[in-house]
Structure 1
Amino acid sequence: MTRSATTTWRRVEVVLAPVLLGLLALAAWEAAVVVLELRPFVVPSPSAIGAELTGNVGIIATAALSTALNAWWGLVIGVVGALVAAAVSAAVRTLDEMSAPLAAAAAVVPIVALAPVLYTMFGANVQTARVAIAAIVSFVPVYVNTLRGLRTVAPVHRDLLRAYAATRRQATLTVTLPGALPFFFSGLRVATSLAVISALVAEYFGGPVDGLGKAITSAVSSSNYPLAWAYVVGAVVVGLLFFCGSSGLERAVLHRRSGR
């Protein structure tokens, strides 16, 4: 087998292996529900969930779009705020020491407690509270990882730039920022998943009657458990799209830099 054929097979294998594993898991799930005669309120069968998913694909897509938009805007606001805060904290160590307790506090604030407060502040008929929650949750991992990356400069690189009389701007562009990129993308991958989860959970506690969180609650309250699980599948798809988007962006940026 040639080298190109081996590379192609490895790429196919990367995609094929998780697909086969997923199909086996679904088959085992279906068999367990049938053999053990599990009731739908315990866990519905994949076939029942699939029937609800195909029969309500438009409604599920609309709810997923609402949740995705809240998560997206929250992610954008959180990431931009985290980058600015990390840059300022890296430049002024006093601000870094002052902001560390605030970042730690933001990381442990429960959405269950925060959502009702924000709904009271911004109103229960707008999406502002959900976007704010997603922004706060997204801020922490990006800020912490980016700040660490900005402070992680190898002494040999610092000494080399000093020997070449490089300016601070040149040192930042050639060493500090490229070195911080992997740290930033590590935080971004975590933030994308947290943004979707936080926007979804925030929908349980108020706000407009749309989004996947409200839809899941409504389906469960009417004892339509397969439909509730179909909405969960929609949430999984949204989370995967966000995660794959961040991973694709990371590969494109890092590959471009390594190719220079």
Structure 2
Amino acid sequence: MTASTAHAGAGAGRSAGELDSSSRWARRVRYYLPAALVFIGVIGLWEVAVRNADIRGLPLPAPSQIAGALVENWSAGRWSLGKAAVATLGEAVGGLAIGTAAGVVVAFLTARFAAARELLLPLAIAASAVPIIAFAPLMNNWFGVLNPLSKMMIVAVLVFFPVVVNVIRGLTQVEPAALELMRSYAATETTILRLVRLPNALPYFFTALKVSATLSLIGAIVGEYFGGTSSVLGQVIVASAGALRFDVTWAAIILGALTGIVFYLVIVTIERMVIPWHASVRGLEP
């Protein structure tokens, strides 16, 4: 092979790589552009409507006012939204960890033992049927109104059932052919669990985590409505609305939503790293 041929091959390889990269960016732009345009359009219409229409009786400030309140109260002032968001996120993460750990244990026991299934599954269903707002005063009384653990337990109850249901499905809905193949090699149940059931359960597990990521923020904020320190999003929403500072109220609401979105995206990123081979993850790429 001559030097000119080698240089030509390397140049062709670089060109192909650059073309693939540019086409991937073009696909991503086409994928996200409609949503971005709709978002910008809604914000623009909202701003124009509040500024020009006679809706002063509604507690709906303009987006520019909300953004100003968010910047003004991010780290200073009476509300300290940044500190409140971090505190609420800590409660959500702690509750998600507790609820996920409990849900995985119950799912394993339920999938493995019939007696555990008859005992634990009805309890899980009953816990999910109780409105979360009914648990909030109980948890605050049990663990203390100012104790973040009370909010974590509310979140744990909220995320427990989705984890249980999805992990049970992942452990039990396995291809019969895969089980037959493993048993034909005289594999033990532990080996089947490690090589077949656990890999099959991982996509279901991450589905439960993605659902629970946003639910955990909701549970934490609902729990904070019933009491807590002043530096959490739920209490900021209640106090600012009582003071008729609806710009701060909406800033706290939007900050809570953005925190939930970031939490969800973190779970999606971890999912892509852990199970890049699964079709559900490959389908996330635009």
Establish whether TM, by shorter chain, passes 0.5.
yes
Is residue 110 of structure 2 the alignment partner of residue 89 of structure 1? Answer: yes
Aligned-residue sequence identity (percent) comes to: 34
1:108-137 C-alpha deviation (Å, 9 max, x unpaired): 222222111121122223222111101111
- 2:135 aligned residue (108, 114, 123): 114
- Could you tell me which residue of structure 2 aligns to residue 23 of structure 1? 40
State the partner residue of 1:50: 67
2:229 and 2:139 map into 1 onto residues whose CA distance is 13
Superposed CA offset, 1:141-178 (max 9, x none): 11110011101111111111122222222211111111
Instruction: Look at both structures and tell me which one has the larger radius of gyration over its CA atoms.
Output: 2
Q: Contact 2:228–2:235 at 8 Å: present in 1 too? A: no
1:4-15 to structure 2, matched below 5 A, reads: 4-15=21-32
Structure 1: where are the runs of 5+ without partners?
none
Question: Is the 8 Å Cα contact of residues 40 and 226 (structure 1) preserved in structure 2?
Answer: no
Secondary structure at 1:57 match in 2: coil
Residue of structure 2 aligned with 1:141, choices 162, 170, 173: 162
Render the CA deviation track for 1:212-237: whole Å, top value 9, x for unaligned. Answer: 00001111001111110011111012
TM-score, scaled relative to structure 2: 0.85
**Which residue identity lines up with residue 246 of structure 1 in the other structure?**
I
Distance 2:194 2:34 in 1: 40
Equivalence for 2:187 = 166
Query: Which runs of 5 or more residues in structure 2 are unaligned?
Result: 1-15, 280-286
State the Cα deviation string for residues 86-119 of structure 1 (Å, max 9, x = none). Answer: 1111110221122121111111222222111121
**Could you give the per-residue CA deviations for residues 177-204 of structure 1, whole angstroms, max 9, x where no partner exists?**
1111111111111111111100001101
> How far apart, CA to CA, are the structure 2 residues paired with 1:15 and 1:209?
37
In structure 2, what is the equivalent of residue 157 of structure 1? 178
SS of aligned partner of 2:276: helix
The reply to whether residue 188 of structure 1 matches residue 227 of structure 2 is no
Which of 195, 213, 230 lines up with 2:234 in the alignment? Answer: 213
Q: Give the Cα–Cα distance (whole angstroms) in 2 for the partners of residues 218 and 251 of structure 1.
A: 40
Distance 1:250 1:159 in 2: 29
Segments of 4+ in structure 1 off by > 2 A? 1-5, 11-21, 34-37, 207-210
State the alpha-carbon separation in 1 of the partners of residues 184 and 258 from structure 2: 51
TM-score where L is the length of structure 1 = 0.93
Flag the 1:33–1:257 CA change in 2: closer, same or farther, 3 A: closer
> What residue number does 1:242 align with?
263
For residue 26 of structure 1, what is the amino acid of its counterpart? Answer: I
Work out the CA distance in 1 between the residues paired with 2:165 and 2:207. Answer: 10
For residues 273 and 31 of structure 2, what CA distance do their matches in structure 1 show? Answer: 18
C-alpha spacing 1:127/1:3, structure 2 compared with 1 (3 Å): closer
Match of 2:86 among 65, 78, 89: 65
Give matches, 1:32-47, under 5 Å.
32-39=49-56, 41-47=58-64
Q: What is the match of residue 252 of structure 2?
A: 231
- How many pairs were matched up? 258
**Is the partner of 1:248 in helix, strand or coil?**
helix
